[in-house]
Structure 1
Amino acid sequence: MLHMGRIKLGGTVLGAAKRAITQSVNYANERKQFGVAISSFAAIKFKLAEQVIRTWVTESAVYRVSKNIDDMINILIEEGKEKPAATIDGIAHYAIEAAALKVFGSEALNYVVDEAVQIFGGMGFSAETDVDRAYRDSRINRIFEGTNEINRLLVSDTTIKKALKTGFDVVRYANSIVKNLNNEVDANIPKDDYFSEKRFYVSNFKKTALLLMGALSEKMERNFLSEQEILSNISDIIMVVYGAESALLRVEKLQSMKGEEAVKLNKDMMDVYIYDSACNLNKSAKDAINSFVTGEEQEIMLDRIDILSKVCPVNVKEARRRIADKLIDENRYCY
């Protein structure tokens, strides 16, 4: 069953990613250039931190969907289904998340191993190191269990159809966003509470996805399957939303268990991810709008996208350095 394979792939890549990160930091600590370890260079720290962030967010999404599936299976069993049937139906219930996780995980690993080769330099091409094999083996993950292109289309198309099937008026909701949103978003950001602020951003990211889905449904009704570029843009936004919200839920839970001091670096990872997500979301949304909306309506929609993707400034340089410094000190994946 493809749904199960996609979820398993999203989880399986985590082991490969963590191993590649450990190999990367090991080599960066050992390799000397200009009399110092290359791990002391800011450009290398950026790569190491970004490897960690993408892996950690992917893991957060894996934990989330796994728990959701377990809960759904138990609900179906309580309703009278046998466990095998409940398992199949429980996984199928999260088909959208499965497809998203497959894309999300395979592309996270692809980034990690690519940067591992870059950190190793010429040695990264040598069979004496393992990163050459990691780089080669990673590539197939974007092809089997349905290519990433197919899974992207599945994410957005199924989400839109599911909304319409359940009676949710996505067109009306999108129109209400356009009508009621104003430029005073700064005044609405709850800056006095860390988690409330992040939830506010995630909520706006969701509104961006719904805005696009509503506009697309209104303009093209049900004849949007051929607009694969636009559907891919929407899928990228949906995956950003799922990753950001999964990270947020994880950090909230970790802080409640371990205290604020213990999650400082986790917050750094989430801060960087949400900040970068806002930038990427802004471009994906505008690319989509510019593909099928024109005139005054286009200007209004682009303005709304800018409002919904606005986040407070983050010193991503220092956040990434703190993440990398911990990794360098531990000389292994430690998150």
Structure 2
Amino acid sequence: MAFILRRPFAITATLRQASKPAQSLSIRAFHNTPLKQQKSFFTPKTTPSLSKSQSIFRGTFRRNYQQPAANNPLAQGDFRQRLLTGAALVGGTLLAVNLIFNRETREDGGMPPYERAYLNDTFMHTGLGIGIIGLAARQLHMSGWSVRLMSANPWLVLGMGLVGSIGTMYGCMATDPNNYVQKYALWGAFNITQALLLSPLMFLQPALLARAGLYTAGMMGSIAFVGATAKQEKYLYLGGPLLAGVAVVALSGLAPLVVPATAARTLMWSENIWLYGGLAVFGGFTLYDVQKVLQHARLAEQGVIRKDAVNESISLELDFINIFVRMVQILGMRNQRRK
């Protein structure tokens, strides 16, 4: 049941990332400012074509994010130094998390081959699904979908996103794994739905998205390693607390829709809960989901349930999306403070 409340929250993250006030990014001011004030873009009597809207957004994108190296001190750093720093960060995180949370290792002599095979199959589907989401989001953005999505009613987008995400997710999970065509068709539709909602992130700097993806992969990889090598069923008790935590984080993500803009302190706290509390909650979900995969592998080996790596991968994909969106926003805020 945990994944039911995860999706609305990633959708809200996407909408808020795309419609942040003008003090964050100038590209978002285009969407938030009334049309009558955008004299250089629109006229009150006519609406520009899709190709013209694309050129406007791409021109703004180039001006804001593709600055020359001479004016961008971040682009002048040594690539090797950045690579070593990233590797040290991932390795240090892996070591620290392993030492803190993985003091009690498995008592059965290690992971059996059937558990390892099932876990590898799940990770393969997770990586394939994330790749589909990334490629589809890029193609949708280039086709002008991001422009139409940002111009649409946010409540309509939220409602259609919920219906599409939850409908395809439940349809995929309810399909028998032996029915390959229907299973993978619904799984592909689920990934395309996520791409439809996340495509506005492509307006951001590619280097920022790459860094966020690297940090997300490092964080999830470290936590997944702990979950895979920890004592059997050690972290399965986290299901209930994590469900309560994701409900709190989801409500904090919806706070800007109901809290007045004058309540700045309340909005600041809700933003911190949404960002950093969300990182903790979905990191815990990664740990829980990995141990759940191993438990399902044991049950499948006993003949209690059927193996279904596609269903297992959906939960990990949602964990990745929610952590990635928060990483993007944190890195974007950090870059804004440096300017």
TM tier relative to shorter chain: under 0.3
TM-score using structure 2 length: 0.27
TM-score using structure 1 length: 0.27
